[in-house]
Amino acid sequence: MPCSRAVRLLFLVGAALALSACPHRGAATPRPAGTAAVVKVVDGDTLDLDLSGSTVRVRLLGIDTPETVDENRPVQCFGHEASSYLAQLLPRGSIVRLERDVEARDRFGRLLAYLYRVDDGLFVNAALIEGGYATTLSIAPNTMRAHEFEVLRVQAQRDKRGLWGACPSFGSPVDAAATTTARR
């Protein structure tokens, strides 16, 4: 009997060690290097990401969306729609891959990046322009995607997608859009 008791004890200790080495139920799954999880969308071109356990504010490179949170400017036409669209593309917890250009941060300390949704490879910056939620914004030396983005903007503007069909011009205040719509 002492031998079978020792075998059982050895088995239990081995099982306990094996279980402790496995990830716990509900624990965060490790992300691949160069990826982050969405914490929250700030506006159409800015979001907070969990990058290696720290929350980092990220500004999407190469694009500009109408303002919604700048206290020095009125809310701009299609700004809420751009913010909502980004939140739809990247709900909280979405995993994204970051791609950098020449400069790492802007003058406000925000990380500058092109973002790709990991689950399907969607190029988020390009999707915002293509849908008419953003225009192009090229600030040297971060111009790696400038030509690609300009082609998408011209197509969206020509097809009157998003803000190009809803607003008198990019950056116009929300109330100007209502006036333009009423005149049609």
Over residues 149-172, the pLDDT tens digits come to: 999 999 999 999 999 999 988 877
Instruction: Please identify which of the residues 5, 31, 57, 59 carries the catalytic annotation.
Output: 59
Query: Does a structural domain hold residue 20?
Result: no
Query: Does a structural domain hold residue 64?
Result: yes
Instruction: Please identify which of the residues 97, 110, 145, 153 carries the catalytic annotation.
Output: 110
Domain that holds residue 152: 35-183
Beta-carbon neighbour count of residue 178 at 10 Å? 11
**Active-site residue flag, 107:** no
pLDDT by residue for the chain (184 residues), tens only, comes to 455 554 444 444 344 434 334 333 333 456 566 899 999 999 999 999 999 999 999 999 999 999 988 888 888 899 999 999 999 999 999 999 999 999 999 999 999 999 999 999 999 999 999 999 999 999 999 999 999 999 999 999 999 999 999 998 887 788 755 544 433 3
Euclidean distance between CA atoms 36 and 52, whole angstroms: 7
Instruction: Count up the domains in the chain and report the number.
Output: 1
The DSSP secondary-structure symbol of 23 reads P
Query: Does a structural domain hold residue 126?
Result: yes
**Active-site residue flag, 67:** yes
Euclidean distance between CA atoms 117 and 78, whole angstroms: 23
Query: Does a structural domain hold residue 100?
Result: yes
Query: Does a structural domain hold residue 15?
Result: no
Strand residue runs (E) in the chain: 35-43, 46-51, 54-60, 63-64, 95-99, 111-117, 135-136
Q: Are 96 and 115 in contact (CB under 8 A)?
A: yes
Q: What is the pLDDT of residue 42?
A: 96
Query: Does a structural domain hold residue 125?
Result: yes
Q: How far is CA 14 from the centre of its chain?
A: 44
**Active-site residue flag, 59:** yes
Query: Does a structural domain hold residue 79?
Result: yes
Query: Does a structural domain hold residue 61?
Result: yes
Euclidean distance between CA atoms 160 and 70, whole angstroms: 26
pTM: predicted TM-score of the whole model, two decimal places: 0.77
Instruction: Please identify which of the residues 5, 25, 57, 67 carries the catalytic annotation.
Output: 67
Domain CATH for 86: 2.40.50.90
Over residues 74-93, the pLDDT tens digits come to: 888 999 999 999 999 999 99
